């Protein structure tokens, strides 16, 4: 089974919020196909004077054959997405937010959300969509459909060996 890896740049920004408890929140605002291959760890660059916008350059996106169904669900959706899992850094640390994982799999994103992680989605760039479509065409094999018997409470019951029904009374 063959994995495929490509690189993206993810921009995160601090967005003002009209809320009485918080004044702002962080969120991914853009993802683009990177011009350079992914490194071991992304390189962070501050894009604003007030440190309210950071770009993680060279974030690795790994496509794995076991996630092919999740990629298929994504690529066939009306609006395909990339899912960005990110975390806040410790107080005073720069950059203030860090990208942990970027995935194209609905299933992997759902597992991260179930685990309590912060996951946001962004539109899938065209270059990445082309890679994803080729990967899905090569690796996704839908499971064969099975006949399902519904509303039959005794469908799984098998009579014991040597069992005979009692004779019908007259």
pLDDT in tens, 112-159: 999 999 999 999 999 899 989 999 999 998 888 887 767 766 666 666
Lowest mean pLDDT among 88-102, 124-138, 156-170: 156-170
Residue 58 has pLDDT above 60, yes or no: yes
Q: Per-residue confidence at 93, pLDDT binned at 50, 70, 90?
A: confident
pTM of this structure: 0.79
Per-residue model confidence (pLDDT) at position 42: 87
Per-residue model confidence (pLDDT) at position 84: 97
Please write the tens of the pLDDT for every residue from 4-53. Answer: 888 999 999 999 899 999 888 999 999 999 887 777 788 899 988 888 99
Cβ atoms within 10 A of the Cβ of 60, count? 17
**67-87 as b/e, with b when 16 or more CB fall inside 10 Å?**
bbbbbbbbbeeeebbbbbbbe
Per-residue model confidence (pLDDT) at position 109: 96
> Can you give the residue ranges of every domain in the chain?
4-139
- Which is it for strands 97-103 and 4-16: parallel, antiparallel or unpaired? unpaired
Percentage above 90 pLDDT, the chain: 57
**125: exposed, middle or buried (C-beta count within 10 Å: 0-12, 13-18, 19+)?**
middle
Give the residue-averaged pLDDT of 50-62: 91
Per-residue model confidence (pLDDT) at position 100: 94
């Amino acid at each position: 089974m063959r994995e495929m890896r490509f690189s993206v740049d993810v921009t995160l920004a601090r967005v003002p919020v009209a809320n009485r408890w918080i004044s702002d929140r962080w969120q991914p605002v853009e993802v683009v196909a990177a011009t350079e291959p992914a490194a071991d760890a992304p390189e962070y660059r501050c894009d604003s004077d007030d440190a309210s916008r950071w770009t993680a350059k060279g974030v690795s996106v790994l496509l794995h054959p076991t996630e092919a169904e999740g990629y298929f669900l994504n690529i066939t959706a009306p609006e395909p997405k990339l899912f960005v899992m990110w975390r806040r850094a410790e107080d005073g640390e720069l950059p203030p937010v860090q990208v942990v994982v970027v995935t194209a799999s609905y299933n992997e994103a759902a597992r991260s959300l179930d685990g309590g992680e912060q996951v946001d989605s962004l539109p899938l760039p065209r270059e990445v969509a082309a890679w994803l479509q080729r990967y899905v065409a090569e690796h996704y094999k839908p499971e064969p459909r099975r006949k399902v018997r519904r509303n039959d409470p005794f469908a799984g019951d098998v009579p014991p060996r040597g069992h005979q029904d009692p004779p019908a009374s007259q």
